[in-house]
Amino acid sequence: MKRCKAESPSRLRRAINADMVIQPEYVGVDEAQALTGISKWTWRVAAYRGRVESCKIGNRLLIPLSEIRRLIREGTRPRRDGLPAGVPSARRARVSSTGSEAQVEAR
């Protein structure tokens, strides 16, 4: 009868951890401040007044990342010229060619 070589538990743990990427669903108010630039005290007030979802575990107030994304999405304004982000505006850029090179000069 052939015996199977057992894997060590630490080796299995490393293999599992290397394959799994865990994304947090909640962040603390300090992390929310770092992500958005909104002070942690503003996050706390908004959470206690019910303007944003939150979860309190012990003495930590946690904000769902989905709630932060929602606030960013609601506060995003469209471009004035209607073009998508990353596309240069025709009014802002002037193309001039000198010889074989083309340069884009910002006004």
- pLDDT tens-digit profile of 48-75? 999 999 999 999 999 999 999 998 888 8
Helix extents (H) in the chain: 9-19, 29-36, 40-48, 65-75
Is 27:57 a contact under the CB 8 Å cutoff? no
The pLDDT value recorded for residue 1 is 41
Q: What confidence category does residue 2 fall into, taking pLDDT thresholds of 50, 70 and 90?
A: very low
Quote the pTM value: 0.56
Q: Is the pLDDT of residue 84 over 80?
A: no
The pLDDT value recorded for residue 83 is 78
The pLDDT value recorded for residue 25 is 92
